[in-house]
Amino acid sequence: MNGLRIAAESTPTAPVVPGRRVGWRRVGRFMAHRPGLVASVLIMIVVLVAAFAPGVLTSADPIVGVPADKLRSPEAHHLFGTDQLGRDLFARVVYGTSLSIRTTMIAVAVGLVVGSATGLVAGFFGGWIDEIVMRIVDVLLAIPSLLLSLALVTALGVGTVNVAVAVGVPTIANFARVMRAETLRVCNAVFVEAARSTGAGWWWVLSRHVLPHAWGPVTVLTTLEIGVAVLSVSGLSFLGYGATPPAPEWGSLVADGRDYLATSWWLSTLPGLTIALTVLAANRISRALDGEWARVR
């Protein structure tokens, strides 16, 4: 015993590194290996701030312009320049983020809730319910999403909520197919069969065992659909189906600058770059989530 005690006391111990230092090192390594992901997260943070607190990014009025300052190129006082009425374009892009992103979130929420619910029910119960649901999904997939959105917004009328519904309905099919596939996979797992063999009700099995394990790919799809919805919402706004002027939206800002491309390139280019960066950032985050889910799975 004395020999063991002496050996234990003489064994060198590893130096204790403070947890904060280890944490910062991990963060630093993560940022060094994934600069694109870090930049995408920062872009989405700025977009969310602009959507819900635009006054933090600019103090200019997006509606009232100064005629003497019309069509000024980007400078320190006007980061994105001014439009044909002398309004600050940066302020209009920032305040337009609120309408565009909120419409996008409503559209994605429509597809997420309705599509996930129908896919979950179809995959869990199967039979004639699955046949009916999937035939409806096939019809939605057969129609081009932009054409279906145009038909819906024409029937519903102009407005941000109507645009959100028109953009969200075509995404129902994507969510339904992904949720159904994951539900079928999870339903064949051993722990689900064990829960059923113990006499658990269908609601308990569905809510406690199937849904939590089938939610991962749907989360990845949700992030991906954000970028698609931004493009669809901006496209409908570009065609004049968005908010009523002079309220700014990303798509309408691009449309307003079409007549001035030869002399004032920034009117359409900078709002268009904002749309492109947002979509690329959402797609990069979605790819990162997909990789993490595949690793865990």
Alpha-carbon span 246 to 297, nearest angstrom: 49
Give the pLDDT score at 296.
55
User: How far are the Cα atoms of 15, 22, 27, 30 from residue 18, in angstroms, in the given order?
Assistant: 10, 7, 15, 19
Give the pLDDT score at 101.
92
Q: With pLDDT > 90 as the criterion, what percentage of the chain qualifies?
A: 37
Give the pLDDT score at 13.
47
Give the pLDDT score at 31.
60
Question: Tokens at residue 117, please?
Answer: 């619910």
Give the pLDDT score at 10.
47
One of 1.10.3720.10, 3.30.530.20, 3.30.565.10, 2.40.30.10 is the CATH number of 21-66+79-296, namely: 1.10.3720.10
Give the pLDDT score at 23.
55
Tell me whether the omega of the peptide bond preceding residue 35 falls within 30 degrees of 0, making it cis: no
Are 282 and 230 a contacting pair, CB within 8 Å? yes
Are 36 and 283 a contacting pair, CB within 8 Å? no
Alpha-carbon span 206 to 211, nearest angstrom: 6
Residues of the chain with pLDDT under 50: 1-14, 16-20, 22
Give the pLDDT score at 28.
60
The 3-state DSSP class for residue 223 equals helix
| Number of neighbours of residue 274 by Cβ within 10 angstroms | 25
Alpha-carbon span 97 to 224, nearest angstrom: 18
Alpha-carbon span 46 to 170, nearest angstrom: 28
Give the pLDDT score at 9.
46
Angle between helices 35-52 and 19-33 (to 10 degrees): 100
